[in-house]
Every structure is written in structure tokens, then in C-alpha cells.
Amino acid sequence: MTLTVLEPEGLYPDTRLEQGILGPDVRILQGNAKASLAELPDSLLAEAEGLMTLRMAVPAEQVARMPKLKVVVRMGVGYDRVDRAACAARGITVCNVPDYGTQEVAEFAVLLALSLRRGLILYHETQRGPDPAPWAVLRSPLVRRQEVQTFGILGLGRIGSAAALRAKAFGYRVVFHDPAQPNGWDRALGIQRARSMEELLAQSDVLSIHCPLTRTTRGLIGERELRMLPRNAVVVNTARGPILDIDALERCLRDGHIAGAGLDVIPEEPPKDPIPSLLRAYRAREAWLEGRLVITPHIAFHSPEAWDDIRLKGAETMRDVLVEGRRTNVIPPEGD
């Protein structure tokens, strides 16, 4: 029996790689949607038994337009834009691709921390322009030796674990909090576990966020949590923007409690008016932020190799689940 898989975005010039993985009994259709599944005709969506999507959200109203749908593969780590409740109500299996970009995001998180903590961003910014800072050391609470600091990791999944190993290699004392990880995970990596998030925050000179966006993690780090960090801490977020309250971060940066921050993600991407006040100040190069903030456009995952993995592993996951009936990378419908 022939199965039909839809790739709605027309990501690739052909489907030879996918066809080779999915096999001759799978028909692959490509759409040309730019921003939403709503752009595609009912006739195309009605044929889809498998849906492979990278940028497209999968809300309930679009799920309803796919009466044959059995499997959704989100070609990335995060799955917050797939309506899992709507899929569960129909018995549709939701999967992600958790093992692409692991090295890239982990490296980028540690890179953000190091570039702030060793003053690279500070000196880069203050030496630019017609009136550079003196050719000398700048006294800044940002700059500290790594070995005297604790690198706190919130969420020790694949990326968090990879970040832990990299931070450890640079000399940080590494501590994590993740109630989902079994006892002994800390010993396997040679790091320490904090029993609560509060215990983690109290000792983190660098806080690096690596948890998924769920109902329980949305807004998880607000002003209360930021002020639990030691004074002059650095905050790094390469996970999802809504986990961190960006307005609270601005207040803590302004009054000096937080020394610096590195954000690869913000609450709404791309930003729309009214854009967050912190982003406006950053773009305006306001003096109080000089050398203290780095914002990048959700590109921590990027490398040619990571893009290859997205395509390959997305197709392999669809094959495993839709064609072979396995449970590869299945996201449970219950809980968060």
C-alpha cells in the first residue's frame, strides 16, 4: 500500500534523498508554502499521511484539514508549534529530530558565555568608532577567570549535556538542574546536580538555558529567578525565547544585578512592533549596554552539517514511524 508524505515548504530542489530513505512504497509531495500551511490547497493537504515540517506551525485548524494524517515530524528539536492536543485527539503521532545541531548549539552557548566573561565583546565594542576607549584594561564585572566560576545549566538533555562537557573543558565548575534526568547522570558527565532550580540559580555565575518550551517552562526565568543569581552573573539563552522574561532581564541589566547576557532567541521571532525595549536599546547602541549584550537571530544551530542532519534525520524518523511502525523520537501527547 502506497503512503503519502508531504513536505509543505519545498525546502529542497528534489526529493531523491527522502525517496531513498522512505522507499518505493512512499509517495513524496512538496508544497510551496512560505509562512503557513493555510497557503496550501485542501486537495494537497487531504492526501498527507505524513507531514514533515521545519518552519511551519501545525495548529489545530490545519490538522483538521488533513483527514489522513498519521505522523507529524517536526524537523528540529523544539515542538512547541505543533498542537499536540489536537494531534492526540486524532491519534496522530508527533515526532521531533532531537539529535541535529547538538554540537553547534552547545558550542554557541559556551561561546556566548566566554565572549562576555573574557571581555571579547566589551573590547570589540569599545575599540570601534572614532572615539575608542583608552588602549588599556577596562575594569568590568563581566571579566573573570573561568575556574572561579560556576556554569549553571538549566535542562540537561542532549544539548545541555554537550554544553556541560564544553564548559567543563574550559575550567568552569559545572552544575545542572533537570528533574527528568536519572540519578547518576551527573556522575557520568563528571558534573554536579542541584536538587532545585533555586539551588542552581544561587550558585550560577553563568546561567545557560537548555530546556524545551512547554506550559511549565514558559516564563520560567523571570525577575524573581534572575535576582536569585549571584550579582554580576551572565545569562545565556539558546533554547526558546519565551522561557526567559526579556523585560525582567532588561531591568536586571539596567540596575547592574546582571552583568551581561547572550540571547540567540527572543519571545517573538522575527521581532514585530512593538519590539522589546531591550532589543530597541541594543539596536540603538545605548551606552549602558556597551559590551554587555549579544543578540543573534536564532542561528546557534547553523552549520552546513547541521542542515544536512535536519534533512537526513527528518526522513529517517518519518520512515521509522510511518513506514516501519517504530517509536523513534516520539513526543508523548500527555503532560506538558
Give mean pLDDT in consecutive 10-residue pieces for the chain, a chain of 336 residues.
Answer: 94 95 96 96 97 95 97 93 94 94 97 98 93 94 96 97 98 97 94 98 98 94 98 98 98 98 96 95 96 97 95 97 97 71
Residue 331 lies in a domain: no
Residues 251 and 109 grouped into a single domain:
yes
* Number of domains present in the structure of the chain: 2
302 is known as an active-site residue: no
Residues 111 and 171 grouped into a single domain:
yes
Set 39, 198, 268, 269: catalytic member: 269
- CA torsion sign for 154, 222, 266, 171 is negative
Set 27, 81, 298, 302: catalytic member: 298
Residue 231 lies in a domain: yes
269 is known as an active-site residue: yes
In the prediction, which pLDDT does 220 show? Answer: 98
In the prediction, which pLDDT does 332 show? Answer: 87
Residues 132 and 221 grouped into a single domain:
yes
Residues 65 and 126 grouped into a single domain:
no
In the prediction, which pLDDT does 203 show? Answer: 98
Set 74, 117, 240, 319: catalytic member: 240
Residues 215 and 314 grouped into a single domain:
no
- Residues 171, 172, 173, 177, Cα dihedral to 10°: -140
In the prediction, which pLDDT does 314 show? Answer: 97
pTM (2 decimals)?
0.91
In the prediction, which pLDDT does 58 show? Answer: 97
Nearest CA to 113 out of 162, 158, 163 is that of 163
Residues 197 and 284 grouped into a single domain:
yes
In the prediction, which pLDDT does 285 show? Answer: 95
Residues 280 and 175 grouped into a single domain:
yes
Residues 107 and 20 grouped into a single domain:
no
Residues 221 and 313 grouped into a single domain:
no
Residue 222 lies in a domain: yes
In the prediction, which pLDDT does 336 show? Answer: 52
Query: In the numeric block, which cell numbers belong to residue 130?
Result: 572614532
Residue 245 lies in a domain: yes
Domain that holds residue 24: 3-100+304-323
In the prediction, which pLDDT does 334 show? Answer: 63
Residues 118 and 189 grouped into a single domain:
yes
Residues 240 and 95 grouped into a single domain:
no
Residues 110 and 254 grouped into a single domain:
yes
124 is known as an active-site residue: no
Residue 314 lies in a domain: yes
In the prediction, which pLDDT does 333 show? Answer: 81
Residue 332 lies in a domain: no
Residue 264 lies in a domain: yes
In the prediction, which pLDDT does 129 show? Answer: 85
Q: The CATH number of the domain where 262 resides is what?
A: 3.40.50.720
In the prediction, which pLDDT does 43 show? Answer: 96
In the prediction, which pLDDT does 78 show? Answer: 86
Residue 329 lies in a domain: no
